[in-house]
C-alpha cells in the first residue's frame, strides 16, 4: 500500500479547478495539462514522472502508454465508463483504476428521462417546426407515458434512479439485470425479468449497462425484431450497445416508433446512419453535462486519488476491492502478514500450485479479507511469476486454473485474538502456515506445518525441518559461525518431544548453497531452505 510521500498527479483532461485545489491542499503536486489528452506522444513523454493520472473521456490509456508510466500507481476516471482505459493492462502493472460511479448518476438518469419525454411528445421536432413558423399542431400527436411499461436494461446506480423516476411518472417498470437480486428489485419497486420478456413487454426501453463483449449489440437486429411493435428506445449509456444499422432499418419500417441517443458507436459522431430520421432525437453525449455533475465527479476523483496515494484507501476501484481510509492503517500489517505467508509457502513449493486456501479467524475475519486474499495470492505466486502484484493476483491465479478459496471463523484456535491460516495445495503435497499481528503492529508467524512457534520475519530467513534430537542446535551454530553468518533471531517449535521440529532463523546475509548443503548434512536435518522476504 502507498505511504505518505510527496506525490505527483497529472490531469490530462479538462477538470474543475476544485479538483486541483483538493490535490494541492493534501500536499500532492497536481499538474493540469488538458492538452495532453489529445496528444498521445506528448502524454507518453510526460507520464513517467507521475504517480497518478486523472482523466475524463478524451484521454486514451492503452498498454503502450502504461509501459511508459513507470511510477504510476492509480488512474482516476472522472465519470463512470472506463472503456478508454485498458484495465487488464493496468491491472497487470499493478495500477489501480478508479471511477466515480455516483458523481453523475442523477444527471445521466435525468437526461434519459428527458429524452424519453422528448420521444413521447416529439418535442425537438415540434420545436423546430414551430420556430420555422409552420404551426403544425395536428402533425405532432404524442403518447402518454402513464401506465406504459418502461424496460430498464441494467439496474445499477443510474438504472435504479431511472426506474425510480419512471415509477414517479406512474409507469410500470420492468428490469433486466443478471446482478439484480430479488430483494433489491422489491426495494426498487421493479419487476425483475429476463431479456426476452423485457423486449416483448416494454413500450420504452432504456439502456444503462457498460460496454463489454457481453453487452455489445445487446439490442442486435435479432433482439430488435423481438421487441414490441411501436417501441421507443433510449440510450444514454454507451455507443455500441445497439446495432445502429439495424435500428435505422427498424425505424424505417416503423417497428420502432422512435429512438433517442446521447451516445454513438463512433464519437465525435459527425456522420451516423441514424442521423436525419424524423423519429430520431440525438444529443452530443450530454448525459453527465451539468454544472453539478462536472463539479461532483471532479471533486470525487480528486478525493479518491488523494486518499489512495497518501493513505492506501481504495474507493470505487474497478480492479481491486475497496479499502476505506479508516481501515487502511489497521489493514496494513495484515496485508504484510498475508503476503509474507504466501511468499514463504510459495518459496517452499516446487510443484505446480493447484489451489490456495485462506481461513480468517477471530478479529481477522472482520477485516477486508478480499484485500488480504489478494496479498496472500501475490506472495504465493511471485516466486513463479515475477510481475504479479496485488491488483493482478486473483486474475492471474484464475487464468492459470488455480482455485482460490476463503473462509471466516469468529473463534481462534490458540491464544490469539486473530489468525490467518494459509494453505497452498501443490501437485506434490499441501503446505501450510499461520500468522497473526501482535499489539505492536508487527506480523508474526505462529504456526508452520501444524507446529506452533512465534517468529517475526526478516529479509533473510532460514527454514529448517529437523528431528527433535540433541546435537542439532550445537552443530547448526558451529556451521554458521564457521561460515561467518550472523544469526539475528532463532525460533524453534516441535510437535512433541523427540518428534518433528522446525527451526526458523533470521540471518544478516544470504546463505550460500554450500552452507545450505552443509546444514542439510547435519544428521537431524530433513530439509533446509533459504527464504527471502
Mark 322-334 as b/e (b = at least 16 C-beta within 10 Å). ebebebbeebbbb
Tell the residue number behind the cell numbers 437486429, with chain if given. Answer: 221
Q: What amino acid positions are annotated as catalytic residues? A: 238, 267, 285
Residue 243 in contact with residue 271, Cβ under 8 Å?
A: no
- Per DSSP bridges, beta strands 418-426 and 353-362 are antiparallel
Three cell numbers written together for 509: 546475509
Q: Report the interhelical angle of 291-311 vs 105-121 (nearest 10°).
A: 150
Cell 423519429 -> residue: 279
The Cα-based distances of 447 to 305, 409, 415, 431, 432 in angstroms read 38, 17, 12, 11, 8
Q: Which of 212, 203, 273, 277 is CA-nearest to residue 234?
A: 203
Q: Give CA–CA dist 458/445, Å, rounded.
A: 11
Residue 366 gets the label, from left (phi > 0), alpha (psi -120 to 50) or beta, of alpha
- DSSP symbol at 48: G
C-alpha cell, 204: 420504452
Sign of CA dihedral 426, 430, 436, 442: negative
224 contacts: CB under 8 Å, gap ≥ 6: 243, 246, 247, 250, 255, 256
**Cell, residue 279:** 423519429
Among residues 196, 444, 492, the alpha carbon closest in space to that of 341 is found at 444
Question: Strands, DSSP E only, in 107-192?
Answer: 149-153, 172-176, 191-192
Render 465-523 in DSSP notation, one character per residue. Answer: EEES-TTHHHHHHHHHHHHTPPEEEEEEEESSTTSEEEEEEEESSPPPHHHHHHHHTST
Amino acid at each position: 500500500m502507498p505511504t505518505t510521500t510527496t506525490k505527483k498527479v497529472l490531469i490530462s483532461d479538462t477538470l474543475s479547478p476544485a479538483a486541483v485545489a483538493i490535490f494541492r491542499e493534501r500536499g500532492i503536486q497536481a499538474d493540469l495539462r488538458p492538452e495532453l489528452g489529445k496528444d498521445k506522444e506528448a502524454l507518453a513523454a510526460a507520464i513517467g514522472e507521475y504517480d497518478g493520472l486523472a482523466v475524463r473521456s478524451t484521454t486514451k490509456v492503452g498498454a503502450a502508454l502504461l509501459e511508459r508510466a513507470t511510477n504510476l500507481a492509480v488512474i482516476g476516471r472522472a465519470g463512470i465508463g472506463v472503456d478508454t482505459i485498458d484495465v487488464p493492462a493496468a491491472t497487470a502493472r499493478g495500477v489501480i483504476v478508479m471511477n466515480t460511479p455516483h458523481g453523475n448518476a442523477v444527471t445521466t438518469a435525468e437526461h434519459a428521462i428527458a429524452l424519453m419525454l422528448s420521444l413521447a411528445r416529439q418535442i425537438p421536432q415540434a420545436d423546430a417546426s414551430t420556430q420555422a413558423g409552420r404551426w403544425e399542431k395536428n402533425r405532432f400527436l404524442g403518447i402518454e407515458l402513464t401506465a406504459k411499461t418502461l424496460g430498464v436494461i441494467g439496474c445499477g446506480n443510474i438504472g435504479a434512479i431511472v426506474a425510480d423516476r419512471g415509477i414517479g411518472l406512474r409507469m410500470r417498470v420492468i428490469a433486466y439485470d443478471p446482478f439484480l437480486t430479488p430483494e433489491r428489485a422489491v426495494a426498487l419497486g421493479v419487476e425483475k425479468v429476463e431479456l426476452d420478456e423485457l423486449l416483448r413487454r416494454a413500450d420504452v426501453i432504456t439502456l444503462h449497462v457498460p460496454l463489454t463483449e457481453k453487452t455489445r449489440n445487446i439490442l442486435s437486429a435479432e433482439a430488435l425484431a423481438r421487441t414490441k411493435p411501436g417501441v421507443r428506445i433510449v440510450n444514454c449509456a454507451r455507443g455500441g450497445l445497439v446495432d445502429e444499422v439495424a435500428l435505422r432499418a427498424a425505424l424505417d419500417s416503423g417497428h420502432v416508433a422512435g429512438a433517442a441517443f446521447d451516445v454513438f458507436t463512433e464519437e465525435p459522431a459527425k456522420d451516423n446512419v441514424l442521423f436525419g430520421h424524423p423519429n430520431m432525437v440525438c444529443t452530443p453525449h450530454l448525459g453527465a453535462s451539468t454544472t453539478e455533475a462536472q463539479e461532483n465527479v471532479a471533486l470525487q476523483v480528486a478525493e479518491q486519488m488523494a486518499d489512495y496515494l497518501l493513505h492506501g484507501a481504495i474507493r470505487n476501484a474497478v480492479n481491486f476491492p475497496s479499502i476505506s481510509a479508516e481501515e487502511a492503517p489497521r489493514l496494513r500489517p495484515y496485508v504484510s502478514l498475508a503476503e509474507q505467508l504466501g511468499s514463504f509457502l510459495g518459496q517452499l513449493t516446487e510443484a505446480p500450485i493447484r489451489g490456495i486456501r485462506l481461513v480468517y479467524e477471530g478479529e481477522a475475519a472482520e477485516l477486508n479479507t478480499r484485500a488480504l486474499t489478494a496479498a496472500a495470492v501475490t506472495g504465493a505466486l511471485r516466486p513463479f511469476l515475477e510481475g504479479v502484484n496485488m491488483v493482478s493476483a486473483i486474475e492471474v491465479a484464475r487464468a492459470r486454473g488455480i482455485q482460490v478459496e476463503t473462509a471466516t471463523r469468529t473463534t481462534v484456535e490458540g491464544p490469539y485474538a486473530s489468525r490467518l491460516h494459509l494453505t497452498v495445495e501443490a501437485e506434490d503435497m499441501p503446505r501450510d502456515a499461520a500468522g497473526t499481528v501482535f499489539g505492536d503492529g508487527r506480523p508474526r508467524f505462529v504456526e508452520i506445518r501444524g507446529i506452533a512457534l512465534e517468529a517475526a520475519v526478516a529479509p533473510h530467513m532460514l527454514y529448517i525441518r529437523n528431528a527433535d534430537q540433541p546435537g542439532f542446535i550445537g552443530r547448526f551454530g558451529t556451521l554458521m559461525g564457521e561460515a561467518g553468518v550472523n544469526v539475528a533471531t532463532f525460533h524453534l517449535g516441535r510437535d512433541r518431544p523427540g518428534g518433528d521440529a522446525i527451526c526458523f532463523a533470521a540471518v544478516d546475509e544470504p546463505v550460500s548453497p554450500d552452507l545450505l548443503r552443509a546444514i542439510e548434512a547435519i544428521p537431524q536435518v530433513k530439509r533446509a531452505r533459504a527464504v527471502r522476504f
